[in-house]
């Protein structure tokens, strides 16, 4: 409620009217299955209670769409852009790759495939998901933005939640230039109270809700204060290394490799390739066992 109130207050302060629609999506923590999603493996995340991104807004008569964020971001907290159409599509920009609005623009572009059915609108964003904290602030923004657009354009609402998650992932790939797996967008889209989500990341990915009601168990999430930026970190390099290892073993992905196959190719792999592949192969097994 506090984040929603913050978004509504920011919208009224910026645009002078009340928002008419709104949407939210949660941050997440991954219980088990690290660096497995982009290797076609398994992951087991759950949504964070009370950590959400909220997008509120309304249609407008302005010439351009206007969006403002309450988050403490580098640079301008307000951005304007023309509504996308086939003749004037929203396109990725290297300059905007690491700006907060690149995630927002990517979703707007993919929501209607630049067909021109999205009206001009104003929007305000507020979030309680720590930025760069490894809790998927980007996916929560993407899914909240997509759901906001569904509220704004109900005729374009998606019934397939997997399609929605994949479109949000595509937005991050193309507009933020981050080669992320699908875990974050899936849990932000499909999260259900009292459940974790076992995701099979092989295309087409699928998710299975798993009840998590054990009164004797508590999930403790701590803040290491280490900042994450997938686009400029080791993440893309890790993904490339894993793909190279799978190719050397002549498999589509590390998900298809066994510990025995890995060991038989040890001499052909660099030390880094071997260690990262070993982690993914064992982690896939641990996740399904769990």
Question: CB count, 10 Å around CB of 42?
Answer: 24
| Catalytic residue from among 112, 155, 184, 256 | 184
Q: 105 with 21: CB under 8 angstroms? A: no
Query: How far is Cα 71 from Cα 140, in angstroms, rounded to an integer?
Result: 13
Check if 184 is active-site: yes
* Angle subtended at Cα 5 by Cα 141 and Cα 58, rounded to the nearest 5 degrees: 65
What are the residues whose beta carbons fall under 8 Å from the beta carbon of 200, sequence distance 6 or more?
42, 206, 207, 208
Residue for token digits 């991954």? 30
Catalytic residues: 184
């Amino acid at each position: 409620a506090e984040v929603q109130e913050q978004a509504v207050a920011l919208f009224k302060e910026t645009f002078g009217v009340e928002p008419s629609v709104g949407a939210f999506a949660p941050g997440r923590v991954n219980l088990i299955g690290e660096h497995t999603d982009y290797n076609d493996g398994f992951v087991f995340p759950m949504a964070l209670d009370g950590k959400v991104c909220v997008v509120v807004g309304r249609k407008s008569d302005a010439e351009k769409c206007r969006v403002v964020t309450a988050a403490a971001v580098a640079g301008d907290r307000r951005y304007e852009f023309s509504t996308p159409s086939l003749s004037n599509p929203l396109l990725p920009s290297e300059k905007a790759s690491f700006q907060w609005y690149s995630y927002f623009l990517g979703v707007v572009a993919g929501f209607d495939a630049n067909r021109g059915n999205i009206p001009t609108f104003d929007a305000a964003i507020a979030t309680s998901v720590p930025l760069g904290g490894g809790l998927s602030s980007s996916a929560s923004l993407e899914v909240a933005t997509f759901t906001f657009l569904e509220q704004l354009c109900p005729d374009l609402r998606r019934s397939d939640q997997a399609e929605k998650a994949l479109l949000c992932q595509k937005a991050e790939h193309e507009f933020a230039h981050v080669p992320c797996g699908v875990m974050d967008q899936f849990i932000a889209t499909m999260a259900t109270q009292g459940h974790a989500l076992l995701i099979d990341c092989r295309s087409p990915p699928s998710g299975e809700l798993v009840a998590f009601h054990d009164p004797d168990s508590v999930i403790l999430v701590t803040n290491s204060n280490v900042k994450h930026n997938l686009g400029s970190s080791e993440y893309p390099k890790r993904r490339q290394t894993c793909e190279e290892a799978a190719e050397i073993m002549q498999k589509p992905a590390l998900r298809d490799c066994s510990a025995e196959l890995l060991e038989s190719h040890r001499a052909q792999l660099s030390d880094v390739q071997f260690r990262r592949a070993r982690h993914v192969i064992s982690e896939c097994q641990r996740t399904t066992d769990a």
